[in-house]
Structure 1
Amino acid sequence: MTRSRATAGSFVPQYLASWLRGPADPRPVYVTLFVTAKCDARCPHCFYIPRIENSKAIEDLSCDEIERIARTMPPFYKLLLSGGEPFLRPDLPRVCRAFADHCDTRQITIPTNALHPVRIERQVREMADDGRVLWEIALSIDGVGEMHDEIRCVPGAFARLTETFERLRNLATHVDNLVVRFNITVSRRNQDRLLDILDHVENVWRHDLVDMTLIRGEAHDPNWKNVDAEK
């Protein structure tokens, strides 16, 4: 039997229907799960740095433990996997499959620092084989070139981001259930360069899916939250 594949268009009616059920239905629509405290970037705007710095002492939930959690949850449509850097988990595709199997999850969004092009492409390729799910990979970009490297505290981070995007863009031309987008975390450091970032994404990379978010929670460097709204 041929299984139909999820696409952005096929997902929208289901997602809207779940919202329209309203407060009378206690089932969740959208679940966020932090799958690891490990990360190889040290962004000053990140609220998770204390756990990342202590990640060697923090044991991530095993895949078996996550699957047991999934078995106890009601159905929900959208899952956001966060961290840390989710793709540092070699079992990430299996983690995703647990929710697709047991919770009928049909959209899974994974933000990434994009520092591991080959690993990310390999895992996303495996994930995209599951046609039940619409996969959304959100690549973090905080500047163009050296500014991105500086904010991520990783030399060469922008070059690796570029390679990751190119690999995933190529993969997305061969499957119809993969969406690649960018996410900009707006901070005091990059607030004057947002148009440069958008210009690079649109005119150099020829891509048009970009989100911008303000810093959440307690930034590792609180001064980075001082964004000038007038700008």
Structure 2
Amino acid sequence: MAYDSEMNKVSDTWSRMRKTDVEELALYTMKSFVFHPTTPDLKVSHIIKDALFACSETDKFLFISDLGIRPTKAICHFHEDFAPFMTTPVLPMDLRPLLTSTILPNHLKVGFYTLKDVVKELNSRWLTEAEMAAWMRWWTASFGIQGIMKEQHKQWQNELLKVGKTHSGGKEVRLSSITKFIDGQMLRVRRPDDPLPEDTIPPALIQGLSPHAIPDTFGWQEMSIAH
């Protein structure tokens, strides 16, 4: 297909050209395939559009993202809540009108972030300390205190904690091994160089979180003086 050929050329030159130039080239190609209403019969534009998408033998329709040319199914709509910890290619906000005018069929549409996307991201790499802290804030705000079914919350909690991993304070932290957090009196009496037990989340990762929300959100218990 002409569209695939032109978009692959753009993809090949993405790293060799200035970002503004290569984006302009991609937009030129994409706008050449935008469908406009036909007159006097609207059906003509629909027939041409359907024929274009029917030519493809796969479900990969190339489109522009902030990380280059990607299939639309590999791109997500930008959302500020996910930006601090997700590396999935996103559709720039200023290109949403172009995507609307292209009118992709349902099986090729750019999607929104899902919990499966977050699990995949956490499973794919070690998050930085800042990214992990941002993810914890998102999980607490989005699902820790809002009403979803208890069984669903537990299922996703287990999935996320099983794959989440980061580095903090010079050591590896796997969320699957965490069972405790420190706050209140324990946090005040602990010296910065005091070592933490392996099952305790580093305080830097939970700064700003309500200690009352942590047990329900993550299933962790506050460390006692005796412990």
User: After TM superposition, is the score higher than 0.5?
Assistant: no
TM-score category of the 2 structures, normalised to the smaller one = under 0.3
Mark the structure with the bigger radius of gyration: 2
More helix by share: 2
More strand by share: 1
TM-score of the superposition, structure 2-length normalised?
0.24
Q: Relative CO higher for 1 or 2, CA cutoff 8 Å, sep ≥ 6?
A: 1
TM-score of the superposition, structure 1-length normalised?
0.24
